[in-house]
Structures are given as C-alpha cells and as structure tokens.
Structure 1
Amino acid sequence: MTHRELDAAGITDPRLRQAYRRCREVNARHGRTYFLATRMLSPAQRPAVHALYAFARRLDDLVDEPEPGATPESIAITLHDVERRFFAELAAGHSDDPLLTAVLDTVSRHAIPEPHFRAFFASMRMDLTVTGYPTRAALDEYVHGSAEVIGLQVLPVLGTVVARAEAAPRAAALGKAFQLTNFLRDVAEDLGRGRVYLPADELAADGVDRDRLRWCARARRLDPRVRRALAGQVARTRRIYAEARPGIAMLHPASRPCVETAFTLYGGILDRIEAAGFNVFGGRARVPRHRRLLAAGDALVRARWARHRHPVAVA
C-alpha cells in the first residue's frame, strides 16, 4: 500500500500500516477488477475498502475453495473457530492476525455495526449445506448476509450527504443487485457445483426444475421454458437496480464515480445476457473490454475532479 494512501487515511502506527498493506496485497492479487475500482476512490478511503475486501475474500475462500480433503463438517468447524475468534477480538479491539488487525481498525474508525458481520458469517454457513432455495424469501435471507451487508459495511467508508440510515436501504439494494447479477451470469458454473441460486418456486411457475437446467447445461442451449424463466429473473433484478440507483446521489461526491461505474458495468452484464437470448449456458456474459475501459477512464477523470472539489475527511 502506498505511503500516500496510509498517510491520507491517518494510519500512522507501523503495525497497522503493515496490516493494511497485507490487505491491499490480497485485493490486488485476487480481486483485480475490484482493486482497480478502488483507484476511483480517494486515497483516504482505499485502506478500509481493501481491509473489508480481504476479510470477505478469506471467508469466501474458506467455503468455496477449501483445502484438499476438507469436508463440509470440517469446514464448518473451521468457520466457527474463525467466527468465534473474530468477535472475541472485535470485543477486545486487538488481534495478532495482520488481516484482522486492519479489519478491526476499519470497523472502529468507521463505526461499522457488528450485526453486518454476523449476517455475513450466517450466509457463509448456509453455503456449506444449502444447495437450493425454495422461495424468494429464502434466497433473500441468504443474499442479505452475502451481499446486502457488504454494501452496508462499505457505506460508512464511502460517506453520505444524507443521514446514513436514509442511504442504507439503497446501499443494500445495490449489493443485492450485484449478487443477483452474479447468480444469473453463473447459473451453469453454480449448477456444476450442485447449487442453484434462483428461487425454485419461481422457476417452477415456468415449468423449470433442476433437471431441466442440467439439460440446458449439457446442451449449452435453452428451451423456451428456461428462456422465459431467466427473462423473468433478469427483469426482477433490473427492478432492484432501479431501487438502488437513487442511492448514488446520496453518497459523498468523491465516491459517486466509483459506484456509478460499478452500477453501469454490472448492469451491462444483464444487457449481455439479454443480448444472448438469455442463454447463460453458451458462455459467460461479459461486458466488452473496450466498454469497461471507456467507463473506467471516464470515471477516473470524474473521480479526480470530485476529490479536488470535495476532499474526503479522515475518519
């Protein structure tokens, strides 16, 4: 992590500075797109975002990329130990783990509520045993902990021009929209891991079940029922983006270009899915590179101008 970012964030303790550098390395190595997006934020905001990303990444990898020979039972025990340690050290305000040292400091500096982290752990536990969701309500419970709370954790770092409570539902909706977009893009990949992150009752209303999805995955094409079901899921997700959009104007001006760019590019994935006739089994939907570069370049210019006119205060 650059000295400039750490200095801008008011992080002076050598141990803390090293902890934040570790988190930045995790972000740069594993979350390239996300890491590049942080360049649109002010230097003072970046260390906290790196810390939150590194923490989420550690838990995601624990569940989705376990060590060879690990079982759901052994992963559950490890996850429980990590959870217990995290909240004990959060209460104590101290950790010997470099990554957690940065996370605890971020939580303290930005007054991030503890329940957001409890909900995240709950959804990680669900991924160990739950392979499908019978209703929208069941999926929403999972998405709250896996995605909505990520938006809520980052919100204090981004800053708002309204009361945080007013912006919170919009931040949660944006996290949800991003997650649902991932689910639609990755139907085939998730199915290969035995998971379906689409409500079974909504699929059934169009005559679709898991066996029909498997047929589509093998054939790499759709039948009319699956196409209709996926079109309905895309339409639902677009409505959630519409709920989230007003939240961008509620953010600190220096944070808006970054979030607006993510909003545009993630929404563009839905456009690509629709342009492919909703065939998420024929290849991974991606926003073309030139569009991503154009959006990022424009956002960087706007971000620099916004930071110049509206400096971010150190937490």
Structure 2
Amino acid sequence: MTARELDAAGIVNPYLRAAYARCRELNARHGRTYFLATRLLTPDRRPAVHALYGFARWADDIVDSLDSGTGPGERADALDRLGTALARCLAGGGDGGRPVVAALADTARRYALDHGLFADFLTSMRSDLEVTRYAGYEELRAYMHGSAAVIGLQMLPVLGTVTPREEAAPHAAELGVAFQLTNFLRDVGEDLDRGRVYLPEDLLAAHRVHRDLLRHCRDTGRTDRRVVAALREFEALTRRSYRRAEPGIPMLAPVSRPCIRTAFVLYGGILDAVAATGYAVLHRRAAVRRRRRALVAADGLVRVTAARMTARCLRGGTSPAASPAAGSARARPEEAA
C-alpha cells in the first residue's frame, strides 16, 4: 500500500521513497487516531501528511523522551541541529542524514508551504525545554500557535479548499489547537511527570488547584473534586475550540472532508472518554473504544467513497445520481460533495 501511495504522489526517487516510508511508519506507530483518519485521504495526498506528522513527531521525541538521559541543553542542541538541517534541505542542500527532514522538505516544495511555519513550530518545541507553566489561556495560545495551529496551516494546501485559502486558514489553525487541547487534557498525568502543566494557572486557581495537589493525586491515585472541576472547565474550553474549527470542514476539497471529519469526531471522542472516566486523567490515559473508532472510520469510508465517485462523475460529465452505487453511498450528500 505504501508503494501505491508513493506512486500516486509521483515520488520516484528511491531515497525519498524510503524517507516517506519512514514518516508513514512513525505515523502508524504513534498517531493511531491521526493515521486512521489519514487513510481516508486520496493516496496521492497521504505521503505529504505522513511527512508533516513524521517531522513533528521526531522533534517532539527530542523534547519529550523521558529515558533519553539527556539534559535540556543537549536537547536544545539536538533541536538546533534539526532546524539547521531542515533549513539547509529547504534551500536545496542535504538532509544531514535525517530522512524525515528530506520528506518534509520535498513536501514543502511540492505544496509551496510557508517555511516560516516550520520555524514557528521549532520555536514552540524549544520553549518546552524551559517553560513548565502557563499563567493564563492567552499565554498558552501563544505557545500553541507554533505547536498546533501551524500544523493545521501546513495541512491546508495538502487537503485543498473550495474557498480562498485565507478564508479556511483560521478554522484549520483552530482545529490544530482543538486537537492539542484534547491531548493536554488526556495527558495531564504524563506531562506532569515531565515537569510540565499545560492547564492555565488562573483556571486551576479558580478551583483552588495547584501543582502540588496535582502531584499528590498523581502519586496516590486519588481524585479530588477540585481537580475534577478544573478539568471539566478545561474540557468546556476545548469544546469551544472545536466549535470554532468546525465551519472550516465544508471549506475543504470534497475528497478531503471525510478525513478531517473523522479526525474531528475521533479526537472529540477523547473528550467524551475523559468525562466517562470521571476525569481520571492523572491516573490513566483515556481512549476512544475500538468499536467506536471502527464505526467512525466506516462512516468516513462511506463519505470518501461518495466524494470520490462524485469527483469522477463530474470529470466525466456524468451526474452522480446516475450511478446506483452513488445513491447508496451518500448518507450525507451535503458533506460528501
């Protein structure tokens, strides 16, 4: 299946094919929800998404690995080397022996991606080596511009739009933020182990929650009603971000909407799972049940089949309604076309 995707994307260089395959492997191994949604894209678009994910994951692992045995200074140096290698590769030089850099630079050239988005991303990654707290939500938003919003903006040219790209851009950026806020809520305990708290301090203080209380709950396995109240408010804040992002989905190219709709539903399902556990995120990671994931993916497959059939019919000058299969596949025509 990897060869089919690379062929569809017109990637013929053997080294680049291996680089993209490495990114795909990282996506499949570490980003289950993201990878599942990506399977709903047309094959020619998938390698670019894998490259974007692979690079982000590579940088994130430099920052977050708990067993690397390296200090902040060494990790900062590693990020600097990664940034230097990317800049060189974007300028037409070598990748410094980093396949994920080669794949990302190739994707950037193919889709004319703004190089400043990569610089903003690496800036936020560097801040994770020094910043362990956020006083308020606006401060957190500034960090998420580089760590999350730019991911949505990088994806937009790959997905394609039916409106001017600048009209869809704020929604794409907001969806990246919504996904990251979801991760912050799900990973409160793991982030605390890394010495970081992404929940804004003013939100925590409003519920009389402080870092020591979070640490106590994490260490003892107990739940505190004040912590639950703070987490519930953070969930509500995250859901507002999803609502701001959702109008951007119909602005995407029809064949890309099922992928993003699926990711939207599955990541939103993580919030449901967190609530269902009683906000026990300090003790265990909430996840969408496998059956639910399968149902959402199946719905996405129906939508993408309808969208692709519509596109083929329009290219051939035939009405989609003329095909019996098209009629049976279109559960929600307004989102499939």
TM-score normalized with structure 2 length: 0.87
CA distance in 1, matches of 2:30, 2:231: 29
Partner in structure 1 of residue 328 of structure 2: none
CA distance in 2, matches of 1:58, 1:275: 32
> Which whole-Å deviations, capped at 9, do the CAs of 1:20-40 have from their partners, x for residues lacking one?
233223333333433232211
> Which whole-Å deviations, capped at 9, do the CAs of 1:53-107 have from their partners, x for residues lacking one?
1111111111112774311111111211211221122123653643322211100
Say yes or no: does 1:295 pair with 2:307: no
Say yes or no: does 1:165 pair with 2:166: yes
CA distance in 2, matches of 1:64, 1:282: 19
Partner in structure 2 of residue 267 of structure 1: 268
Partner in structure 2 of residue 112 of structure 1: 113
CA distance in 2, matches of 1:217, 1:259: 34
Structure 2 SS opposite 1:92? coil
Partner in structure 1 of residue 181 of structure 2: 180
Structure 2 SS opposite 1:230? helix
Structure 2: give runs of 5+ residues left out of the alignment: 316-337
2:258–2:304 CA contact under 8 A, matched in 1: yes
Structure 2 SS opposite 1:12? coil
- Per the TM alignment, residue 117 of structure 1 is displaced from its structure 2 partner at its CA by 0.4
CA RMSD of aligned residues (A): 2.0
CA distance in 2, matches of 1:133, 1:188: 16
Structure 1 SS opposite 2:17? helix
> Which whole-Å deviations, capped at 9, do the CAs of 1:241-296 have from their partners, x for residues lacking one?
00001011111111111111111111111122223333323432221111111111
Measured at CA, do residues 233 and 69 of structure 1 come closer, stay the same or move farther in structure 2, by a change above 3 Å? closer
Percent of aligned positions that are identical: 57
TM-score normalized with structure 1 length: 0.92
AA at the equivalent of 1:81: R
1:170–1:244 CA contact under 8 A, matched in 2: yes
2:89–2:102 CA contact under 8 A, matched in 1: no
Partner in structure 1 of residue 55 of structure 2: 55
Partner in structure 2 of residue 156 of structure 1: 157
CA distance in 2, matches of 1:284, 1:29: 17
CA distance in 2, matches of 1:229, 1:32: 28
CA distance in 2, matches of 1:289, 1:13: 37
AA at the equivalent of 1:243: R
> Which whole-Å deviations, capped at 9, do the CAs of 1:102-142 have from their partners, x for residues lacking one?
21110011111111101110111011111111121221121
Say yes or no: does 1:69 pair with 2:98: no
1:120–1:146 CA contact under 8 A, matched in 2: yes
Say yes or no: does 1:304 pair with 2:309: no
Structure 1: give runs of 5+ residues left out of the alignment: none
CA distance in 2, matches of 1:67, 1:229: 30
- Per the TM alignment, residue 13 of structure 1 is displaced from its structure 2 partner at its CA by 3.4
CA distance in 1, matches of 2:47, 2:158: 10
- How many residues end up aligned between the 2 structures? 312
- Per the TM alignment, residue 221 of structure 1 is displaced from its structure 2 partner at its CA by 3.3
Highest RCO, 1 vs 2 (Cα 8 Å, sep ≥ 6):
1
